[in-house]
Amino acid sequence: MEQSSNFIRTIIKQDLETGKRDHVITRFPPEPNGYLHIGHAKSIVINFGLADDFGGKTNLRFDDTNPLKEDQEYVDSIKEDVSWLGYEWDELHYASNYFDEMYDRAVLLINKGLAYVDDLSADEIREYRGTLTEPGKESPHRSRSAEENLDLFERMKKGEFADGSKVLRAKIDMASPNLNLRDPVLYRVSHATHHNTGDTWCIYPMYDFAHPLEDAIEGVTHSLCTTEFEDHRPLYEWVVRECEMDMQPQQIEFGRLNITNTVMSKRKLKQLVDEQHVDGWDDPRLPTISGMRRRGFTAEAIREFVKETGVSKGSGVVDSAMLDHFVREDLKLKAPRTMGVLRPLKLVITNYPEGEMEWLDAEINPENPEMGTRQIPFSREIYIEQEDFMEEPPKKYFRLFPGNEVRLKHAYFVKCEDFIKDEDGNVVEIHCTYDPRTKSGSDFNERKVKGTIHWVDATHAVPAEFRLYEPLILDSEEEDEEKTFLDYVNEKSLETLNGFIEPNLQNIDAQEKLQFFRHGYFNVDPKHSKPGKPVFNRIVSLKSSFRL
Ligand code: ATP
Ligand code: MG
Ligand code: MG
């Protein structure tokens, strides 16, 4: 589907029109150091969407240059999530497959007098770099000869030096107003086993050196990244040029997606997972793709949401209500309606014959009549919601209270005649009478009722668990330097309820989505739901204050 116009599209269009390019190749380049989140979905939609609109191609490339943080589990989950979002990559690449070529390009830089081995520590390098107002200081090793550098770099590769004892740096300009150009580190020593290359390497390229080479090797025409790399663009271009790559990709930056009441950095997400604030990377409260999938968000809703947030240089914070809006829109016509009681209260229809029952017809989706009808059992004892009865109702309460009559959805009018309390004063049972003439679908119109409530037949009811979610991160009133995001984790972000559902849902499949009347849209939890014992995650409630 065509995405609306934006500044990146305009650049690509011009490049094709002026003949600067005759084709388009983009890439989505995650580092496999965590699971993808909805911010990544934005990058995915932009990269795949734009290439697709211009008949181009998109690679999935694992930017796996940091062995300490990377893992095969993340590689697998990323592939699954990109596919689930509905995108097919053209080629699958690993940056680590280019380590030989990257090494050769580094040697080329050394030979050109544009790179040197430095013995300064990481702290010293930072100190020597200077600040925005203060020029940097040259390292005493900056003037090593190419010969000496070649020898040292080779010995770094062979494993002669300990982690942190030597680095390879670009020789650019220690006085540059752009700090990224003050002799950035290109390679570091790290005696770590890599998930793809094993123990072949003990030196690893830095992002700023590796990324432009990866793009150039793959023939990427437009390298799209987020705005924090804007200042790195001169370095990106320097690497491509000085390494004498045939292909010169163009880096273009766009604003990150941020969403209210959540965190969106893999580092923070990993902390929430590792410290068990949540139930794994796919916890339904997380903005990870796998968490959102488990919660019940659809790929379609995520794509539409991301497109609506647009492509610009700015990175505003988007209200999570907008995401909810798109999932409601997507499920409105697709999700079957059903009745589920989350906080059950027994209701006995005293004038309904004991031992008898009947099957009632109920439409599956009033907004989509093609979905047909289902049959639901009805008899003398049913469950209703506790909140649908009040002994002493406030004004405008139209549900059950002594003497009041309501409609049971798809069934009959019932009138509250009596109720029973336990020793502690809790209402435990409601007694009603029903009027057989008021059956749903009949043309009864002698009197009207103001409230309609849902219910589940007690003898046929299937027990079910319902999980209701609130935002994981609470609003922070003001900036407080003493606090971290963990201080704002909402302890009440999950509420688990044990209730009942209609019997036809007893063996419902994982990931099925439906709407429980009055409660919202729910998804069958793929991890904990079992045949006969379903677990439902609430995706969103029905109410929305959000308008596009
Ligand atoms: P994080 O800060 O969450 O760890 P990252 O940028 O380090 O994210 P990468 O694996 O490098 O994660 O991301 C792959 C691609 O996704 C990059 O091009 C990155 O710019 C993009 N991306 C990551 N987060 C967002 C976001 N919130 N909005 C838009 N694009 C994003
Ligand atoms: Mg990154
Ligand atoms: Mg990161």
Residue 128 amino acid letter = Y
Tally of CA atoms within 13 A in the half-sphere of 533 that contains its CB: 5
CA distance 177 to 265: 29
Q: Say which CATH superfamily domain 344-457 falls into.
A: Ribosomal Protein L25; Chain P (2.40.240.10)
Looking at the domain 7-95+212-318, which fold is it?
Rossmann fold (3.40.50)
SS3 call for 127: helix
CA distances from 51 to 13, 21, 302, 439 (A): 11, 13, 19, 57
32 lines ligand 1 (CB under 6 A): no
Beta strands per DSSP E along 219-271:
222-226, 250-254, 258-259
- Annotated binding residues for ATP, written as ranges, equal 31-33, 37-43, 226, 256-257, 264-266
SS3 call for 496: strand
Q: Which residues are catalytic?
A: 31, 256, 266
Residue 498 dihedral angles phi and psi, to the nearest 5°: -110, 115
Residue closest via CA to ligand 1's atom 27 equals: 39
Q: Say which CATH superfamily domain 462-541 falls into.
A: Ribosomal Protein L25; Chain P (2.40.240.10)
CA angle 479, 483, 484 (to 5 degrees): 105
pLDDT at 66: 95
Q: Could you state, in order of their start, the residue ranges of all structural domains in the chain?
A: 7-95+212-318, 99-206, 344-457, 462-541
pLDDT at 543: 82
The ligand placed nearest to the CA atom of residue 270 is: 1
Look-up: residue for tokens 């099957």? 359
pLDDT at 1: 43
Residue closest via CA to ligand 1's atom 23 equals: 40
Pick the CATH number of 99-206 from 3.50.50.60, 3.40.50.10800, 3.90.800.10, 3.40.109.10: 3.90.800.10
Residue closest via CA to ligand 1's atom 15 equals: 30
In the chain the first and final C-alpha atoms are separated, in Å, by 20
* Torsional class of 287: left (φ above 0), alpha (ψ -120 to 50), beta (otherwise): alpha
Residues with CB in 5 Å of ion ligand 2:
31
What tokens does 417 get?
A: 């005649």
Give this prediction's pTM: 0.95
The rounded Å distance from CA 228 to ligand 2 centre is: 10
Asked if the domains at 7-95+212-318 and 99-206 fall in one CATH topology, the answer is: no
29 lines ligand 1 (CB under 6 A): yes
ipTM of model: 0.96
pLDDT at 478: 66
Q: What is the DSSP string of 143-212?
A: T--HHHHHHHHHHHHHT-S-TTS-EEEE-S-TT-SSGGGSS-EEEEE----BTTTBTS-SEEE-HHHHHH
Residue 50 amino acid letter = L
The rounded Å distance from CA 44 to ligand 1 centre is: 10
| pLDDT tens digits in sequence order for the chain, 548 residues long | 455 689 999 999 999 999 999 999 999 999 999 999 999 999 999 999 999 999 999 999 999 999 999 999 999 999 999 999 999 999 999 999 999 999 999 999 999 999 999 999 999 999 999 999 999 999 999 999 999 999 999 999 999 999 999 999 999 999 999 999 999 999 999 999 999 999 999 999 999 999 999 999 999 999 999 999 999 999 999 999 999 999 999 999 999 999 999 999 999 999 999 999 999 999 999 999 999 999 999 999 999 999 999 898 887 899 999 999 999 999 999 999 999 999 999 999 999 999 999 999 999 999 999 999 999 999 999 999 999 999 999 999 999 999 999 999 999 999 999 999 999 999 999 999 999 999 999 999 999 999 999 999 999 999 999 999 999 999 876 667 788 899 999 999 999 999 999 999 999 999 999 999 999 999 999 999 999 899 999 999 998 655 65
- Annotated binding residues for L-glutamine, written as ranges, equal 63, 207
The rounded Å distance from CA 230 to ligand 2 centre is: 13
The ligand placed nearest to the CA atom of residue 39 is: 1
Contact 64, 94 (CB under 8 A): yes
The rounded Å distance from CA 266 to ligand 3 centre is: 6
